[in-house]
Amino acid sequence: MTAQELLKTEEAIGFVKEIFAKELSTQLQLSKVSSPIAVLDGTGINDDLNGIERPVGFPIKALDERRAVVVHSLAKWKRVRLQELGIEAGRGLLTDMRALRPDEDYSPIHSIYVDQWDWEKHIIPEQRTQEFLKATVERIYEALKTTEARVAAEYPEITPVLPGKITFLHAEDLLKQYPTLTPKEREHEATKQYGAVFLMGIGHELSHGEPHDGRAPDYDDWSTETASGYRGLNGDILLWHPVLQTAFEVSSMGIRVDKQALVRQLALRGCEDRQELSFHSRLLKDELPQSIGGGIGQSRVCMFMLRKGHIGEVQVSIWPETVREELAEAGVGLL
C-alpha cells in the first residue's frame, strides 16, 4: 500500500470518528470529558473484564512506589465520574478511552491496544428495565446508521449495508435455536440472518448451566430477572461485517448493577471480598448514581464503516513479524 493510500485511510478514520462521536453524543445527551490512562491498584476501579486478564502495572516513585495499572476499560471509573461532576439524570458523559490488554490473543479483530468511546449515563431506578435498555440501544444504532450514510456519501466506494432496525435477541433464545453450536457460532448465524443484533443476557448461566460469555460481576447487571422471564440487563451490539463475512461485535454495554445486583453477582462469582474496595463500598452505601453505559470500539467502528478486514488497518499497534509479512503479501497495509 502506498503512502498516499495510507494517508487517505488516516483521513477517513478521522472522518468516521468525528461523525460517530457527534451523533452518539446527540442521541444519548452526552458531554465530552477527559479520562485516565492508568488508575491506582487496589481501588476496584479498573475493569476486570473476564476476571483473568492481567493489567499492565508499574510503581510510582512519587507515591512511595504505590502501584498503578493501565486501564482495561473505564466501566467503573465513569460511574464515579458521573457523581463527581454532578451530572443530572437523563444526561451522561463520553470519553476517549485508551487501554492496553496484553493478554489479548491476536486476530484480525483483536489487538493489545484498545480504543473505545466509553460512555455512561445517569438514570433513575425506574429505568432499570429491559425496555429502557432496548430504547438506548436503538439510539446508538441510529448513530451507527447515520455515520454509515455520511461515510457512503463521502466515499462512494462504500455501500450502506446496515438494516433499518436492530434485532433484539436473548442468549437463551440463541441457545434454544442452535443447541449444538458454540456461542460464537450462534452469534454468527443470528447476525448473518438479521444484519444487526443486540444480544442480551451475557454473563449469567443459561439453561444448560453455562453463560454465553464471561462478564465481570461489578459493572453490568447480568443477573436481574426481566419481564421476559430471562436474566440480564446487558448485551452486545453485533453487526454483520461485509468483508469478514462474520458477526462483528462493536459494543458491550448494559444497565449497571445496583447494590442488590452487586451483592448477588459478587456471591455468584465467589468474590465477596471486593465489597471492601473503594468503588464497591461506595456503591453499597448508595453514594453512586444509577447508570447505564458501555464501550464502543473506535477501531471496530472504523473497520466496519471503511470495510477493512484487519484492525491493524485502522490503528497503530504491535504485531508479530509473521503477521506483518502475511498481511504485506496479501496487500494489506498496517498503520
What's the confidence (pLDDT) of residue 44? 65
The catalytic residue among 81, 101, 150, 215 is: 101
Over residues 45-73, mean pLDDT: 75
Phi, psi of 216 (to 5 degrees): -60, 155
Q: Is the distance from CB of 302 to CB of 155 less than 8 angstroms?
A: no
Alpha helices in 117-182 (DSSP H): 130-154, 171-177
Q: What are the pLDDT digits (tens) for 14-34?
A: 999 999 999 999 999 999 999
Q: Is the distance from CB of 315 to CB of 101 less than 8 angstroms?
A: no
Would you state the cell numbers that stand for residue 119, as one nine-digit string? 460512555
User: Within 13 Å and on the Cβ side, how many CA atoms surround 26?
Assistant: 12
Grid cell 476499560 in the structure block, residue: 73
Q: Is the distance from CB of 254 to CB of 292 less than 8 angstroms?
A: yes
What's the confidence (pLDDT) of residue 249? 95
Does position 48 have pLDDT exceeding 60, yes or no? no
Domain-located, residue 308: yes
Domain-located, residue 335: no
325 is known as an active-site residue: no
Select the more confidently predicted residue: 76 or 299.
299
Q: What are the pLDDT digits (tens) for 125-143?
A: 999 999 999 999 999 999 9
Domain-located, residue 285: yes
Averaged pLDDT score across all residues of the chain = 90
Give the whole-angstrom CA distance, residue 318 versus residue 55: 17
Q: Is the distance from CB of 207 to CB of 172 less than 8 angstroms?
A: yes
What's the confidence (pLDDT) of residue 312? 82
Domain-located, residue 287: yes
228 is known as an active-site residue: no
Write a three-state SS string for 89-132. Answer: CCCEEEEEEEEECCCCCCECCECCEEEEEEEEEECCHHHCCHHH
Q: Which domain holds residue 46?
A: 3-329
Rounded to the nearest angstrom, the gap between the alpha carbon of residue 87 and the centroid of all alpha carbons in its chain is 22
Number of domains into which the chain is organized = 1
282 is known as an active-site residue: no
Domain-located, residue 122: yes
What's the confidence (pLDDT) of residue 143? 98
The catalytic residue among 127, 223, 252, 291 is: 252
pLDDT band at 318 (very low <50, low <70, confident <90, very high): confident
Ranges assigned E (strand) in 208-320: 234-241, 246-255, 291-297
The catalytic residue among 23, 47, 120, 258 is: 47
Query: Domain with 209 in it: what CATH number?
Result: 3.30.930.10
Domain-located, residue 334: no
The catalytic residue among 116, 265, 298, 299 is: 116
Does position 1 have pLDDT exceeding 70, yes or no? no
Helix (H) or strand (E) holding 6: helix 3-28
The catalytic residue among 23, 221, 249, 258 is: 249
287 is known as an active-site residue: no
249 is known as an active-site residue: yes
Over residues 256-281, mean pLDDT: 92
Over residues 250-273, mean pLDDT: 94
101 is known as an active-site residue: yes
What's the confidence (pLDDT) of residue 172? 95
Q: What are the pLDDT digits (tens) for 219-228?
A: 899 999 987 8
